[in-house]
Structure formats: structure tokens, C-alpha cells
Amino acid sequence: MRPAGRFVGEVLTDLASRVKVGTNLLEIDRWAHEHIRRRGAESCYIDYHPSFGASPFGYVICTSVNDAVLHGLPHDYALRDGDLLSLDFAVSVDGWVADSAISMVVGEKKDEGDLELIALTEEALARGIDAARPGKRLGDISAAIGAVAHAAGLRVNTQFGGHGVGRTMHGDPHVPNDGRGGRGLKLRPGLVIAIEPWFMAGTDELRTDPDGWTLRSVDGSRGAHSEHTVAITDGDPIVLTARG
């Protein structure tokens, strides 16, 4: 799974470096699609149609802006100075999948609250990864993530979270972003999971856009999202989607 993870990390690094004020979300999708074609990879999103989606996704990357936090459907929108943008990207390379997400503030108008929210998801991701060790339990990862959110006064939605990754993008086990340590599946070497804390500044409740995909905070507060695909080993966890 290393080649898939390396590719996903490289693509997100490139996209983040190219995004600026005026960049259209459809342009970001086109850039991601070009990377996929050049690599001979396969998108995990374009034909993806789970029970919670209104139709096949139709694009190769999720672009969530401001109060949108998950599953943002690319559309004709030019990014503005100060927008909080999350990119979530998953592909299959030679039959193996990797999945990762990154959040950033576009332009020069950087709200301190947005930067803090992004930093909290990144800290929670690091804590979750550190807990992904053999002999621990799935709940230890969830508890580590949730502790970061609760210490900052945030509420946590556990409807969507991390998940198993392998030949397909979404598999067992579900990895909630909050939980109790010492509970759940025992972690063993060879298990590969996506760990993905996402937080909203003012609520833990979501609403779905008319597009049938984009998930937004019910109160209009902003959201941030960080994710890596992580392999559990006999020693330290391996972050397969590490970005240079």
C-alpha cells in the first residue's frame, strides 16, 4: 500500500501549493484528475454511491468550504480570501487504496479561529496515530482524538469517522472520533485504517446540501478535517500518506 499512500500524499501537497484566491473548485478536481490519469491510478470517488449519497459522486476529490466539512461536491465556485478549504482524496494504485485529507485557509485573510480549528484536527490526528499500536484497542484511538476536541470545548460527531482501508476505500472497522479507551477491536500488526478527525467550531450536528452529498454544520460554523492512512506494525505506526 506504500505506492498508493505516497501518491495520495504527493497529490495533496501539489494541490495545496496551487490553490489561491480565485481558484475554482472544479479546477482543483481537474488537477486531481490529471494526476490520476498520469499515474494510471483509479479514483475511489467518481462512481462511489453509498446509501448516504444521493447519486454517484461524479468527481475525484471532495472540496469542502467554510461551513462544509465533509463530502464537499466540487462545483462552480471561485475561492475567496479567507475561505477555509478541506480537500479529501482517495485513489487505488495497483489495486490498493490510500485516503487522506488536508485543510487550509486560502489567501492572506487568515482567521485565528480557523487556524486553531485546523491545528486541533492535526493535533488530534497525531494523537490518534500515536495510539495506533499493537495490543491497544480501537477505543484508544477514538479516545485520544476525542480528548483533544473536548479539551478545546468542542463537541464531536461520531456518525462519520475513520475506517478500514485496503482493496476498497471504506471497510471495517469504523473508527469514531470519540470513545472510551480500552474498548473495541484489539489492534494487530497488518491492520490499515484511515484516521480522520474532523471538527466543527460550534456544533456536532450536520445537514446535507441539496446536492445530496455536501455535509455542513447546522449552525453555519466552520469545519476542518485532517486524515492519514496508517498501518499498524509490530512497532511504530506507519503513516502511508505522509506529505513531504
Nearest partner of 29 among 7, 57, 8, 60, judged by Cα: 60
Does 49 belong to an annotated binding site?
Answer: no
Does 71 belong to an annotated binding site?
Answer: yes
Query: Parallel, antiparallel, or unpaired for β 206-208 and 215-217?
Result: antiparallel
Place of cell 444521493: 54
Does 172 belong to an annotated binding site?
Answer: no
User: What count of other Cβ atoms lies within 10 Å of the Cβ of residue 89?
Assistant: 28
43 contacts: CB under 8 Å, gap ≥ 6: 33, 36, 60, 90, 91, 92
Query: Chain centroid to CA 199: how far?
Result: 11
Does 88 belong to an annotated binding site?
Answer: yes
Whole-angstrom distance, CA of residue 234 vs CA of residue 242:
19
Number of H helices, E strands in the chain: 4, 14
Helical pair 2-18 and 25-39, crossing angle rounded to 10 deg: 150
Measured in residues, the chain has a length of: 244
DSSP 192: E
Place of cell 474498548: 183
Does 227 belong to an annotated binding site?
Answer: yes
Does 170 belong to an annotated binding site?
Answer: yes
Does 29 belong to an annotated binding site?
Answer: no
Q: Which residues are annotated as a binding site for a divalent metal cation?
A: 88, 99, 163, 196, 227
Q: Which residues are annotated as a binding site for substrate?
A: 71, 170
Q: Which residues are annotated as a binding site?
A: 71, 88, 99, 163, 170, 196, 227
